[in-house]
Amino acid sequence: MSIEMTKADVPGVPLLEVRDLHVEFRTREGAAKAVNGVSYSVDAGETLAVLGESGSGKSVTAQTIMGILDTPPGHITGGQVLYRGQDMLTWSEEARRQVRGNKIAMIFQDALSALNPVLSVGYQLGEMFRVHRGLSKKEARARSIELMDRVRIPAAKERVNDYPHQFSGGMRQRIMIAMALALEPEVIIADEPTTALDVTVQAQVMDLLAELQRDFHMGLILITHDLGVVADVADKIAVMYAGRIVENAPVHELYKRPAHPYTKGLLDSIPRLDHKGKELYAIKGLPPSLTAIPSGCAFNPRCAMARDICRTEVPPLADVAERDGSPLGGRTSACHFWKETIHD
Ligand SMILES: Nc1ncnc2c1ncn2[C@@H]1O[C@H](COP(=O)(O)OP(=O)(O)O)[C@@H](O)[C@H]1O
Ligand code: SF4
Ligand SMILES: [Mg+2]
């Protein structure tokens, strides 16, 4: 499979698409169904936020896209991961390696464990250029400093030989972003990139990521459990629950009018300035065990709107429309009662 063949943009074909993906972990307790039919896509210049509580399958989906899923115990039991329309799940490991880092790069939550503690950051950045671009040591070092400047690490030239532990958490995360950017990928998957940081630093790193995404016209998949951090940076949101997407919407639409009770619950549990003094809402109960996902709608034990049909029939991810039936573009919801949710 030649990657060169697939370079040009093909109209109507997303840059990166996950289609009906199923992943399970086979453990002694049974099969944990971590991903149960996830579909999403991202194009150049677009930011997709993937939102959901811990354990909803966000990272497993990302690992499957990157080709770094722990197999075993993880098994891909269905679906496709399409890069420019070609299913990477059918490719050789060699072909996947060509895409990883080069075309699709990943930023992890924990920079300290993702970076090598005994090598300087300049060495680790430079390695990308030496190994993948064949640059000399000197050229690689110059490019590393440039990149550190680009992600706004102060005094990059002086700090290029420092080790990861000599940087603050926010600066380390900038170094991770620089590593991901090094080979000028088309898509970056950022998995909870700011979760480990203080709130003020979180905003700075998120702003930087959004700026780079725009400047390089990349696709960005921004994985988070925090609806508060994505409002200003994402174009569209996919909300995950128990390994499924339960709602898709353009970001501002989702904030204004959620079409799924779970999304509504998430929104009501964000602290907001205009709600000062009011008690914060919390969705009752816990996400289900993935070895025993409730029948029907997986959210039904926690849903105040649940009725009989919710316990027996899995709600399909259906198009959402206005009261008069006119479609709400880009919006879907997996709730039997989405009409009541969005229109009431
Ligand atoms: N290496 C693993 N071994 C066994 N089970 C795993 C492993 N990684 C993930 N899982 C299962 O998949 C579920 C979803 O994980 P993950 O995608 O990491 O959730 P999150 O949405 O928080 O990123 C976990 O709750 C767990 O049951
Ligand atoms: S399908 Fe039923 S249980 Fe599920 S979210 Fe909708 S109302 Fe709640
Ligand atoms: Mg995760």
C-alpha–C-alpha distance, residues 40 and 52, integer Å: 14
Atom of ligand 2 minimally distant from the CA of 297: 4
C-alpha–C-alpha distance, residues 79 and 38, integer Å: 8
- Ligand minimally distant from the alpha carbon of residue 110: 3
Q: What distance in angstroms lies between residue 295's CA and the mean position of ligand 2's atoms?
A: 12
- Under DSSP, the state recorded for 39 is E
pTM: predicted TM-score of the whole model, two decimal places: 0.94
Please state the rounded mean pLDDT for residues 55-75: 96
Atom of ligand 2 minimally distant from the CA of 311: 3
* Spatial CB neighbours of 134, under 8 Å, sequence gap ≥ 6: none
Angle between helical axes of 121-133 and 169-181 (0-180°, round to 10): 10
- Three-state DSSP at 37 gives strand
What's the pLDDT score for residue 331?
A: 97
Q: What is the distance of C-alpha 211 from the center of its chain? A: 17
- What is the band of 199 on the pLDDT scale with cuts at 50, 70, 90? confident
Q: And the tokens for 307?
A: 């009725």
Ligand 2 atom 3 nearest Cα: 300
- Ligand minimally distant from the alpha carbon of residue 244: 1
Q: What distance in angstroms lies between residue 273's CA and the mean position of ligand 3's atoms?
A: 28
Q: Is the pLDDT of residue 271 over 80?
A: no
Lowest mean pLDDT among 140-144, 282-286, 318-322: 282-286
Upstream peptide bond of 72 is cis (omega within 30 degrees of 0) = yes
What's the pLDDT score for residue 2?
A: 43
* Spatial CB neighbours of 233, under 8 Å, sequence gap ≥ 6: 47, 49, 206, 207, 209, 210, 213, 222
Q: What is the pLDDT of residues 221-250, one digit of tens each?
A: 999 988 888 888 999 999 999 999 999 999
What's the pLDDT score for residue 227?
A: 86
Atom of ligand 1 minimally distant from the CA of 61: 17
Candidates 333, 337, 340, 342: which one to mutate for ligand 2, based on the most atoms within 8 Å of Cβ?
337
What's the pLDDT score for residue 114?
A: 87
Q: Is the pLDDT of residue 144 over 70?
A: yes
- Under DSSP, the state recorded for 326 is -
Angle formed at CA 184 by CA 180 and CA 190, multiple of 5 degrees: 35
